[in-house]
Amino acid sequence: MITLYGHVPAWGIPDLSPYVTSIDLYLRMTGQPYRMVVGLLDKAPKGKLPYIEDGTAVVADTSFILDYLKRTCGDTLDGRLGTRDEAVRLMLWRMMDESFYWYLIQARYRRDEDFALYDPLWELFYGHLTSDEKRLAVEATRERILVQFYQSGRGRLSWDEVEHMGCREIDAVCGWLGGEDYLFGTTPTSADCAVYAFLQGLIYVPFDNGIKAHALAKPQLRAYMARISERYYPELRAAQREYADA
C-alpha cells in the first residue's frame, strides 16, 4: 500500500500544504489504496512534503509523484485527454504549483495578524521546545519563507499588486472552467486536484483577503469547490462552511 507523508489537517482543509492535498485528492479520485501519515521534514528526501513510499520506491515532489502514480497505477484521470487539453492541464497544474502558491504565502505570512492564526498549529511542530525556543523557531520559519517570497518576485510587490495578480489567476481558472462540472468536462482530471488543493487553501481557512473575496464572488467557482468537497471530502463540509459560508 502507498504511504503518503504530509503535514496535519487544519480549519476546513485536509492538510496545511496544498501540495499534499493535491496528491491526497488524486489518490482519492483514482481509488488507489493508500494511507496518510504525518511526515518529518528532516526525514523527507528533498526536505519537503509530500513524498510517498510504495514498497521500496520513495518519490518526492508532487510532479514526480504524479508521474510515478500514472506510470505504475495507470492514467485513469488524464489518459482521455488529447494533446491540446493535456497541454492546458499541465499549464493549470504549473500555475497553481509555481504561481498561485505565493498568494497563499502572502495570505498566511505577510501580515502579523494573519500569521498569528498559525500559533496553535506551531505547537504540533515545536511542542518539544520551551516557550522561548518555540517562538524563536516560529519566527525563523516565517523569516525564511518571507525571504523566499521576496526572492520569487511577489514579495517585492505591494499587497494590492499581489492581490491583483492572484485575482487574474482566479479569472483564468473560471474562464477555462466555464459552466462545466470539472475543468475538462463531466469527469475530473489531475488538473482539478491541483486547482482544488490550492483554492481550498485560500477559501476554507480563516485568512480574509481580496483574492479570497474575489474567488467567493464567483458562483461557478463556489459550486465547483463544493462539488469536489462533497464528493471527496464530505467530512470537512461543516468546517468549510464556517470559513466560506460554502
State the maximum Cα–Cα separation within the chain, in Å, rounded to a whole number.
Answer: 56
List residues bridging with 52 in a β-sheet.
Answer: 4, 59
Tell me how far apart the alpha carbons of residues 168 and 115 are, in angstroms, rounded to a whole number.
24
> pTM (2 decimals)?
0.95
**Number of H-type helices and E-type strands within the chain:** 12, 4
Res 136: pLDDT: 87
Residues forming beta bridges with residue 10, ordered by sequence position:
13
**Do the beta carbons of residue 26 and residue 59 sit within 8 Å?**
no
Strands (E), the chain: 2-6, 34-38, 51-54, 57-60
pLDDT tens by residue, the chain, 246 residues: 999 999 999 999 999 999 999 999 999 999 999 999 998 887 889 989 999 999 999 999 999 999 999 999 999 999 999 999 999 999 999 999 999 999 999 999 999 999 998 777 766 677 677 878 888 888 898 999 999 999 999 999 999 999 999 999 999 999 999 999 999 999 999 999 999 999 999 999 999 999 999 999 999 999 999 999 999 999 999 999 999 875
- Grid cell in block for residue 72: 505504475
Residues 6 or more apart in contact with residue 29 via CB below 8 angstroms: 77, 188, 192, 193, 232
Give CA angle at 28 (22, 29), nearest 5°. Answer: 85
What is the Cα–Cα distance from 73 to 163, expressed in whole angstroms? Answer: 39
What pLDDT does residue 31 have? 96
Q: Where are the domains of the chain?
A: 2-244
Phi, psi of 60 (to 5 degrees): -120, 160
| SS3 label, residue 49 | coil
Nearest residue to 232 via CA among 93, 96, 82, 28 = 28
Write the CB contacts of 159 (distance below 8 Å, at least 6 apart in sequence): 106, 110
Return the CATH number of the domain spanning residue range 2-244. 1.20.1050.10
